[in-house]
DNA sequence: ACCTGAACACCGTTCAAGT
DNA sequence: ACCTGAACACCGTTCAAGT
């Protein structure tokens, strides 16, 4: 939009911030390099001076967001520290839904992403887990948070589209109770597990209970 | 491709099977309705007679694949039954990588998808969990399998692209050991947790250990 | 180094029309 | 009901050129 931007006013930081604003305002899927360039008042190719391609820009936006993951709280027990990091990451994903897609579609890299990993891995090592267990646990926790929160965000987005939501409810209610007795009987409970703090903490507590058993045994 | 297909030879089943073949052969991201129509020898708009839009076709392909999730093994303990269902779903996702994206991007619906949910929910109810716990556990297990396996598939795809893989290794090795001592020290172990049966079973066993504690307590 | 402009090879979907 | 053809409003990226 707007008028043409004069030369040498563009930079990587501005591009990343504008990209993030655009994803937040118009939706992650609607984001395009052409739209971003228009918003910045430059031609699409101007962006290629700062980023190799679209994925490269995605990585930069992701790292920009990962800087907002709060640090590990000092002086807490290790399970509470793990809880804090996982909840902090989930919270950030809920505040910036594009982060879910950015984390899921690209391998981890970048300074701020490493910082988050360093925090969680440090907690696990200090808790006394050996290197392999710490690494396995880190990946398990990360993929759990990513999977659970991505799903939550996806379901919330579906609920926002009234037409899609109506169709989903219709097909759910049309399921034959003779063929799917348990799904039909538990439909209300299932609908309540598509998201929310309680559902997330339930899964996280299962993992932590398993970990505690491992640490004790 | 090929020549023009005569009228009335098209049907939903053929479209779904061809779409799946195309996703498998050329990659999920490269899939397009126009490419599918060309493969079928029809105009792009011919598909709209059978599917409302691209998402509607995606739902059909997903349900087509979910039919291949093996049934719950009878006569096993409930933790082994849970293990079997989760492993079966993961195995299918690894065999058909597009399933990961199809599950993650759309809400669950369809006959075969309901069948899989019915199986797992039935196991949990028969294990003695109340309705809410069964529903919460089902969603937790599903999002865990989805998150862990999607990540595994994504990392495997990245490894296949030599240029992207080289860049990833380079940035990992360039991380300063003074700022990220634990990440650098555990880099070999972390690289080994990006996938594989052991990594998946480790996370699944944590969840099952947490569940067992809950069932006992 | 930084950015433009035209071009290439695509997309999903609407609309009006044909059989 | 089933399918076509043209059109609309887009994409990411390459390439050659300009400052």
In a domain, B171, yes or no: yes
DSSP class per residue in A95-130 = HSTHHHHHHHHS---SHHHHHHHHHHHHHHHHTT--
User: Cβ B190–A138 below 8 Å, yes or no?
Assistant: yes
Domain shared by B46 and B95, yes or no = no
The band of A90, judged by pLDDT with boundaries at 50, 70 and 90, is: very high
| Closest Cβ opposite residue B146 in set A125, A147, A179 | A147
Interface probe with B: pick from A106, A107, A132, most Cβ of B within 10 Å:
A107
Q: Are A15 and A49 in contact, with CB atoms under 8 Å apart?
A: no
**What residues of B are in contact with residue A151 (Cβ under 8 Å)?**
104, 139, 142-143, 146
Domain shared by A101 and A152, yes or no = yes
In a domain, A7, yes or no: no
pLDDT, residue A2, reads: 46
Asked if the model's pLDDT at residue A162 lies above 50, the reply is yes
Cα–Cα distances (Å) from A34 to A13, A44, A99, in that order, read: 18, 5, 21
pLDDT, residue A4, reads: 60
Domain shared by A91 and A184, yes or no = yes
The band of B2, judged by pLDDT with boundaries at 50, 70 and 90, is: very low
Closest chain B CA to residue A112 = B180
Q: How far apart are CA B64 and CA B88, in angstroms?
A: 15
**How many residues are listed for chain B in this entry?**
217
Q: A28-41: per-residue pLDDT in tens? A: 999 999 999 999 99
Domain shared by A87 and A33, yes or no = no
Average of pLDDT values for A111-132? 97
In a domain, A154, yes or no: yes
DSSP class per residue in B54-105 = HHHHHHHHHHHHHTTSPPPPTTS-HHHHHHHHHHHHHHHHHHSTHHHHHHHH
Q: CB-based contact (8 Å) between B54 and chain A?
A: no
**How many residues are listed for chain A in this entry?**
217
CA of residue A43 to C1' of nucleotide D14, angstroms: 15
pTM for this model (two decimals): 0.96
Q: B127-138: per-residue pLDDT in tens? A: 999 999 999 999
Domain shared by A107 and A195, yes or no = yes
Domain shared by B99 and B185, yes or no = yes
Specify the CATH number for the domain of residue B183. Answer: 1.10.357.10
Nearest to B154 by CA among A89, A65, A103, A96: A103
Percent of all residues in chain B with a pLDDT value above 70, rounded to a whole number: 96
**What residues of B are in contact with residue A51 (Cβ under 8 Å)?**
none
In a domain, A58, yes or no: no
pLDDT, residue B98, reads: 98
User: Cβ B189–A147 below 8 Å, yes or no?
Assistant: no
Residue B87 or residue B4, greater confidence: B87
Domain shared by B74 and B156, yes or no = yes
Q: B20-33: per-residue pLDDT in tens? A: 999 999 999 999 99
Domain shared by A145 and A194, yes or no = yes
Could you give the number of structural domains in chain A? 2
pLDDT, residue A109, reads: 94
**What residues of B are in contact with residue A131 (Cβ under 8 Å)?**
185-186, 189
Average pLDDT, chain B: 95
CA of residue A42 to C1' of nucleotide D18, angstroms: 15
Asked if the model's pLDDT at residue B162 lies above 90, the reply is no
| CA geometry: angle A145, A150, A156, nearest 5 deg | 130
Domain shared by A85 and A170, yes or no = yes
Asked if the model's pLDDT at residue A211 lies above 60, the reply is yes
CA of residue A144 to C1' of nucleotide D7, angstroms: 46
User: Cβ B207–A211 below 8 Å, yes or no?
Assistant: no
Nearest to B147 by CA among A97, A91, A152: A152
Q: How far apart are CA B181 and CA B178, in angstroms?
A: 6
Q: B30-63: per-residue pLDDT in tens? A: 999 999 999 999 999 999 999 999 999 999 999 9
Region label for A110, one of left (φ > 0), alpha (ψ between -120 and 50) or beta (otherwise):
left
Q: Are B37 and B46 in contact, with CB atoms under 8 Å apart?
A: yes
Specify the CATH number for the domain of residue B18. Answer: 1.10.10.60
Strand D proximal to A56 Cβ, under 7 A: no
User: Cβ B151–A144 below 8 Å, yes or no?
Assistant: no
pLDDT, residue A7, reads: 64
Q: Between residues 137 and 196 of chain A, which touch chain B (CB distance below 8 Å)?
A: 137-140, 142-148, 150-151, 154-155, 158, 168, 171-172, 175, 179-183, 185-186, 189-190, 192-194
Q: How far apart are CA B43 and CA B35, in angstroms?
A: 10
Average of pLDDT values for A150-172? 92
Residue B131's contacts (CB-CB under 8 Å, 6 or more residues apart) are A185, A186, A189, B125
In a domain, B199, yes or no: yes
Asked if the model's pLDDT at residue A1 lies above 60, the reply is no
The boundaries of the domain holding residue A132 are 66-216
DSSP class per residue in A27-89 = -TTT--HHHHHHHHTS-GGGGGGT-SSHHHHHHHHHHHHHTTSPPPPTTS-HHHHHHHHHHHH
Question: Reduced to 3 states, what is the DSSP secondary structure of residue B47?
Answer: helix
pLDDT, residue B179, reads: 97
Q: In chain D, which nucleotides are within 7 Å of a protein Cβ?
A: 1-7, 10-16
Strand C proximal to B49 Cβ, under 7 A: no
Domain shared by A104 and A74, yes or no = yes
**What residues of B are in contact with residue A110 (Cβ under 8 Å)?**
171
Question: Reduced to 3 states, what is the DSSP secondary structure of residue B38?
Answer: helix
A9 nearest nucleotide via C1' and CA: C2
Strand C proximal to A43 Cβ, under 7 A: yes
Q: In chain C, which nucleotides are within 7 Å of a protein Cβ?
A: 1-7, 10-16
Q: How far apart are CA B45 and CA B19, in angstroms?
A: 15
Angle, helices A78-95 vs A98-105, to 10°: value is 110
| CA geometry: angle B30, B32, B36, nearest 5 deg | 115
Strand C proximal to A4 Cβ, under 7 A: yes
In a domain, A6, yes or no: no
pLDDT, residue B7, reads: 64
Domain shared by B33 and B70, yes or no = no
Sign of CA dihedral A20, A21, A22, A28: positive
The band of A214, judged by pLDDT with boundaries at 50, 70 and 90, is: confident
Question: Reduced to 3 states, what is the DSSP secondary structure of residue B107?
Answer: coil
Strand C proximal to B50 Cβ, under 7 A: no
User: Cβ B125–A182 below 8 Å, yes or no?
Assistant: yes
Q: Are B113 and B199 in contact, with CB atoms under 8 Å apart?
A: no
Nearest 10 degrees: Cα torsion B174, B177, B178, B182: 130
In a domain, A92, yes or no: yes
The band of A129, judged by pLDDT with boundaries at 50, 70 and 90, is: very high
Q: How far apart are CA A193 and CA A198, in angstroms?
A: 8
Q: Are B179 and A179 in contact, with CB atoms under 8 Å apart?
A: no
Domain shared by A47 and A79, yes or no = no
pLDDT, residue B4, reads: 60
Residue A98's contacts (CB-CB under 8 Å, 6 or more residues apart) are A20, A23, A24, A28, A31, A61, A65
| Closest Cβ opposite residue B211 in set A138, A182, A206 | A206
Q: How far apart are CA B154 and CA B29, in angstroms?
A: 12
Asked if the model's pLDDT at residue A138 lies above 90, the reply is yes
In a domain, A148, yes or no: yes
Question: Reduced to 3 states, what is the DSSP secondary structure of residue A11?
Answer: coil
């Amino acid at each position: 939009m707007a008028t043409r931007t004069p030369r040498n006013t563009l930079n990587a930081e501005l591009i990343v911030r504008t990209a993030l604003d655009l994803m937040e305002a118009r939706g992650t899927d609607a984001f395009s390099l052409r739209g971003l360039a228009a918003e910045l008042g430059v031609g699409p190719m101007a962006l290629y001076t700062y980023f190799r391609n679209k994925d490269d820009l995605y990585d930069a936006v992701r790292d920009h967001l990962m800087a907002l993951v709060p640090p590990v709280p000092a002086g807490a027990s290790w399970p509470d520290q793990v809880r804090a990091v996982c909840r902090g990451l989930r919270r950030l994903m809920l505040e910036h839904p594009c982060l879910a897609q950015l984390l899921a579609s690209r391998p981890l890299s970048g300074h701020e992403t490493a910082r988050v990993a360093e925090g969680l891995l440090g907690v696990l090592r200090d808790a006394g887990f050996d290197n392999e267990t710490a690494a396995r646990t880190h990946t398990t926790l990360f993929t759990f948070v990513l999977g659970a929160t991505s799903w939550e965000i996806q379901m919330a987005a579906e609920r926002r589209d009234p037409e899609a939501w109506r169709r989903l409810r219709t097909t759910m209610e049309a399921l034959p109770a003779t063929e799917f007795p348990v799904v039909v009987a538990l439909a209300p409970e299932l609908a309540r597990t598509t998201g929310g703090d309680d559902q997330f903490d339930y899964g996280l507590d299962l993992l932590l209970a398993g970990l505690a058993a491992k640490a004790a045994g």
